[in-house]
């Protein structure tokens, strides 16, 4: 897992000849959860680049698990581009007590924390430097009272910068879901995300392809808007499952636009239920 320094893990140390004397023993950088949080599984949703619909996939996975009867939270770690609260029609401010901050609860019971719930006006831009942003994400773990959760999904900012690094090092992430779209650079981009997770010793649970195709409303033909998909080959090469292929679906876009994602019923990822 993320207990590493100089590329070593505790299990590496156990079998290393220098294990007893090495001054570079792994340091556990994990931050403690808020005492009022009991989270069973933490899943980070990542993408190697922006614009692939990562928030859509995060919320879709959360919805799916919610529909299965699990208690679910979403941590919106995309601090400079938060979109989760609006998808669920949440515009209020998060409340707090001496013990920490309460996540806001969506109409389907999904608990949400996002920087937008802490800003005076939700249109205010977040103009903070990387370390400050990373610190806020850490606080979403240490200071938020998530309560009992079966799943906490983290909507990560795109790429492999400060925030993903902080999340992987500081939070007990159980697995990563990689989101991508069927475009030319996809092989390289997926591999970047995969390699980052591997470097942090976090298992990749699978890949979701978004914008896979568009179904013609008249004849039902599938149109590959962004080119032919290569996700099956890439997933096989990496030895990870494809959790689903999501088409461009106007019903999903409408659920976001109308801020009623809590009503959306996305079947495209149903194959992922047993893999999370
Ligand atoms: N499969 C889809 N079908 C229809 N609309 C989609 C789909 N995926 C995403 N969208 C829409 O595209 C827009 C951008 O999606 P989203 O907010 O998830 O991207 P994002 O999280 O900003 O992407 P990234 O974080 O990768 O830059 C949203 O308005 C969303 O409703």
Q: How far is the CA of 55 from the centre of ligand 1 (A)?
A: 6
Show me where the domains of the chain are located.
32-262
pLDDT in tens, 69-121: 999 999 999 888 889 999 999 999 999 999 999 999 999 999 999 999 988 88
Please report how the helices 162-170 and 186-199 are oriented relative to each other, as an axis angle in degrees rounded to 10: 40
Please report how the helices 130-142 and 162-170 are oriented relative to each other, as an axis angle in degrees rounded to 10: 30
pLDDT in tens, 37-76: 999 999 999 998 888 999 999 999 999 999 999 999 999 9
Residues with CB under 6 A from ligand 1: 47, 50-56, 78, 81, 83, 158, 210-211, 246, 248-249, 252-253, 256
pLDDT confidence of residue 61 = 96
Going by the DSSP 8-state scheme, the letter that residue 16 receives in this structure is -
Q: Any idea which architecture 32-262 has in CATH?
A: 3-Layer(aba) Sandwich (3.40)
What tokens were used for 76?
């919106």
Question: What string of DSSP letters covers 174-217?
Answer: -EEEEEE-SSTTHHHHHHHHHHHHHHTT--EEEEEE-S--EE-T
């Amino acid at each position: 897992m993320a207990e590493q320094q100089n590329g070593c893990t505790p299990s590496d140390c156990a079998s290393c000849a220098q294990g007893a004397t090495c001054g570079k023993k792994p340091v556990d950088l994990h931050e403690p959860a808020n005492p009022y949080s009991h989270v069973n599984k933490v899943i980070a949703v990542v993408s190697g680049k922006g614009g692939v619909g990562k928030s859509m996939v995060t919320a879709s996975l959360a919805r799916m698990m919610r529909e299965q009867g699990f208690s679910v939270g979403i941590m919106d770690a995309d601090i400079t581009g938060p979109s989760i609260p609006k998808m669920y029609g949440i515009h209020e401010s998060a409340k707090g007590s001496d013990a920490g901050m309460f996540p806001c609860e969506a109409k389907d019971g999904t608990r949400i924390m996002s920087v937008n719930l802490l800003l005076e006006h939700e249109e205010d831009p977040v103009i903070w430097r990387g370390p400050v942003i990373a610190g806020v994400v850490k606080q979403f773990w240490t200071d938020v009272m998530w309560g009992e959760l079966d799943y906490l999904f983290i909507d990560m900012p795109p790429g492999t910068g400060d925030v993903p690094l902080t999340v992987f090092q500081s939070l007990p992430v159980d697995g990563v879901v990689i989101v991508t779209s069927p475009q030319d650079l996809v092989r390289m981009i997926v591999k970047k995300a995969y390699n980052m997770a591997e470097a942090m010793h976090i298992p990749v649970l699978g890949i979701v392809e978004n914008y896979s195709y568009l179904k013609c409303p008249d004849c039902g033909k599938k149109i590959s808007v962004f080119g032919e998909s290569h996700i099956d080959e890439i997933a096989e090469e990496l030895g990870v499952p494809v959790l689903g292929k999501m088409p461009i679906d106007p019903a999903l876009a409408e659920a976001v636009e109308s801020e009623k994602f809590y009503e959306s019923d996305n079947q495209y990822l149903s194959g992922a239920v047993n893999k999370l």
